[in-house]
Structure 1
């Protein structure tokens, strides 16, 4: 009898395996990625907490294909492991959020941490739905941060509708997130908000009516914090082969939702002037123009943040649980040109002029080698004390990337980044001069 049950169970398992169809396995892709990061963050203020740390990340991805038939089913699995190799804070503090690793109760970094997640996916024609906790949106209203050894991940569902050529419609709901320096999932929030929200809903799309023009619109709402509308336009004019001019225009309109401004649903408005300090009332627009000539590219742009409040976006670094313990470990990205190494230049009233020069050394016989130099200057930051004082701040970033093009180490990449940030804003209002260095060693091996 036991033998019969065992054979029956094996037959059912084999039947289930075969019913997946050839596409599920034949179209599957899997990879192993390694990232080593040396991170140095020197806060040049009296009593500042400096961080010097080296960590190793291991990432394993399995992305299945879809089963055959009108409705196809698939599964994506992601396993992540982080190892603290050396260092931490030179002045350990339990109240300080480590941006590279999770921390223990005394503020020191953990030795290792990990995360296992995945997404179930369904495809009908050209429409695809993903449900799970390894979502990595890259949208104007929600950008996944991947600047440490582990990528940020979100839990929820996202649907992509691509039935018409040139039109991609996106919608979904995110309920929780896991930051770049965390193994657990927590509710969502904003800068300064200690109460979590489990509802970030969004919809929108990208329309490419012609190959040189992109039009975008997205709407989102983080319950009890904010509602947001985004409009974008990207146009590329090909002057002659090897020479082009690109315009990228972005506009955000942000307002309050629900309980924001009361209890723990507070938005700190980036420490700048705001007519409603705890609430959301903001309009941010930016324009960027890039002139490309052969291997060189020069980018110039301008960004304006309205006086009523700072730019708002999902950031869970301040979210706390029922026992007032910090749940998130910080780390967020925002779809702005000013999202630089050390600062984002999004304080209320801040007007930022920025530029970047980049060069690709392939034409000089060094394919895979690229260099970037960026400078940003923010002005008109009003003192939140209301005394009429205005502040400015600036940042200078340099970056060199090299990717091995052939041989045993093909696709092995090295990135060296150095940033210097200086601000006139006093420490009592969140100002601090920062020197930051990052060294990345990246390698991904794809099995298919």
Structure 2
């Protein structure tokens, strides 16, 4: 028996699936091992408080996905084993989000996580139960550190009607990037705790160039949110296009935790010419509160960038962005991005002047395209933040990654 068959058999037995594997369950299975070497350095530009966070760690992410058993309803199982190892950290520089805290001001030497998901498929619809990762306008998993963040719950995807994709589900817990335990969910900047986030919505592709979406979610007893999206891609010929990305949401309280009032509008326009892409964005918060979303997850905002989300109460922000793909001059795998975001009009409590902030980002990435090091990736992420109501930050991240297909 091959190692592949043994591993899939273990997954199948551990998830109480039918004892006799169907051919598709084995043949459609796949597995990969991702290695992430991650260096994180954040300088808070302060002398009267904590001034620095710097850590270096090695991550291993083993992903295994089965196919589905034969029949009207197919069953399968996915699993993800994760291990993080500390390479360098100190009591005064811990807290980067790469490693769990050790309880004495430093970081743990190592930590591991296991994520198992049972799944079922009928026609073009799937139901997944267990550990979940997803990206949607109403809730998205975060994967910006050493190991990914996961939710616990159930997720249903339905694609039975041509051009229409429906999604819904319920989460009851969250496991943050550097955590080994599931915990209750809380709302970023809002507070409170909840063990129930229910959501649903869909996207409809009116034409190959135009897609509209409407989504709803509620973090029980804290907030509820409606989110509408519109994306249009206009081909202009000769390697040119104009992409329009519009987003609007309304959020209000759910239950008696506290009153919540937020309206968020975002627009991003991107003009592509060959290997060049020029972007311009605008984001506006209205109401008495900042934009609410589940803490440790990613908000669906056009100005959510490397460090900031520019989603404070009454904040207005603008973005200018430039991307270049060096494949257009014969260097495939090499990419560059830079952007600048400026925010103002922030309602800052106990201050007579409005809050202002800005952030500048730069990413340079290269992925080896062939040979024995194919898929080896190297990325440098740099950010600078200045604010009159928060921390000034200089940040660098160096990420070396390699994904090996096991089968």
Report the TM range for the smaller structure's normalisation: over 0.9
Please say if 1:121 is aligned against 2:101.
no
> 2:139, 2:297 within 8 Å by CA — same for their partners in 1?
no
In the alignment, is the contact (CA less than 8 A) between 2:142 and 2:177 conserved in 1? yes
Q: Of 271, 283, 289, which residue of structure 1 is paired with 2:269?
A: 289
How far 1:382 sits from its partner (Å)?
2.4
C-alpha distance after superposition, 1:263-315 (max 9, x if no partner): xxxxxxxxxxxxxxxx4210000111000000000000100001421111001
SS at match of 2:186: coil
Aligned positions of 1:196-235 closer than 5 A: 196-235=193-232
Q: Could you say what secondary structure the match of 1:406 adopts?
A: coil
Partner of 2:260: 280
TM-score, reference length from structure 2:
0.93
Q: Could you list the runs of 5+ residues in structure 1 that have no partner in the other structure?
A: 1-11, 262-278, 316-330, 426-430
Deviation at 1:143, TM superposition (A): 1.1
Of 380, 390, 395, 2:345 maps to: 380
* Structure 1: distance between partners of 2:159 and 2:357: 43
Q: 2:187 aligns with which of 174, 187, 190?
A: 190
Residue 86 of structure 2 aligns with which residue?
A: 84
> Equivalent residue for 2:7?
none
Does the CA-based 8 Å contact 1:382-1:388 persist in structure 2?
A: no
Q: Are the equivalent residues in 2 in contact too, given 1:77–1:118 (CA < 8 A)?
A: yes
- Counterpart CA distance in 1 for 2:301 and 2:332 is 29
Partner of 1:26: 27
Query: In the superposition, relative to structure 1, how do residues 141 and 345 fare at CA in structure 2: closer, same or farther (>3 Å)?
Result: same
Tell me, yes or no, if structure 1 residue 365 matches structure 2 residue 362.
no
Pair 1:345 & 2:315 matched: no
**Residue 59 to residue 232, structure 1, CA distance change in 2 (3 Å):** same
**Higher strand proportion:** 2
The structural deviation recorded for 1:388 is 4.2
- Structure 1: distance between partners of 2:32 and 2:93: 38
Give 1:405's match in structure 2, choosing from 369, 374, 380: 369
- The equivalent position to 1:302 in structure 2, one of 282, 290, 303, is 282
**2:5 matched residue in structure 1:** none
Aligned to 1:101: 99
Asked if residue 433 in structure 1 is aligned to residue 397 in structure 2, the reply is: no
Aligned to 1:60: 62
State the distance in 2 between where 1:22 and 1:102 align. Answer: 41
| Structure 1: 4+ residue segments shifted above 4 A | 192-195
| Alpha-carbon separation, structure 2, partners of 1:111 and 1:67 | 40
Counterpart for residue 355 of structure 1? 320
**Deviation for aligned residue 1:237:** 0.4
CA deviation map 1:104-137 (0-9, x unaligned): 111210000011121100101111000002x001
Structure 2, unaligned stretches of length 5 or more? Answer: 1-12
Partner of 2:178: 181
Matching of residue 424 in structure 1 with residue 404 in structure 2: no
Give the CA deviation at 1:424: 1.2
Within a 5 Å distance, the mapping from 1:91-170 to structure 2 comes to 97-133=95-131, 135-170=132-167
CA distance in 2 between counterparts of 1:390 and 1:195 reads 27
TM-score relative to the length of structure 1: 0.85
Residues 342, 434 of structure 1: 8 Å contact kept: no
1:445 to 393, 404, 407: 404
Contact 1:178 1:184 in 2 (8 A): yes
Aligned pairs, number: 392
Give the Cα separation in 2 of the matches to 1:196 and 1:239. Answer: 48
| Alignment check: 8 A CA contact 1:98 1:109 kept | no
Give 1:48 deviation, angstroms: 2.5
Any idea what the Cα deviations from partners look like across 1:351-375, whole Å, max 9, x if unmatched? 0010110000012221000000110
CA 1:211 to 1:439, structure 2 compared with 1: closer, same or farther past 3 Å? same
| C-alpha separation in 2, matches of 1:194 and 1:393 | 23
- The 8 Å contact of residues 92 and 106 in structure 2, kept in 1 or not, is answered as no
CA contact (8 A) 2:55 2:96 kept: no
Contact 1:213 1:234 in 2 (8 A): yes
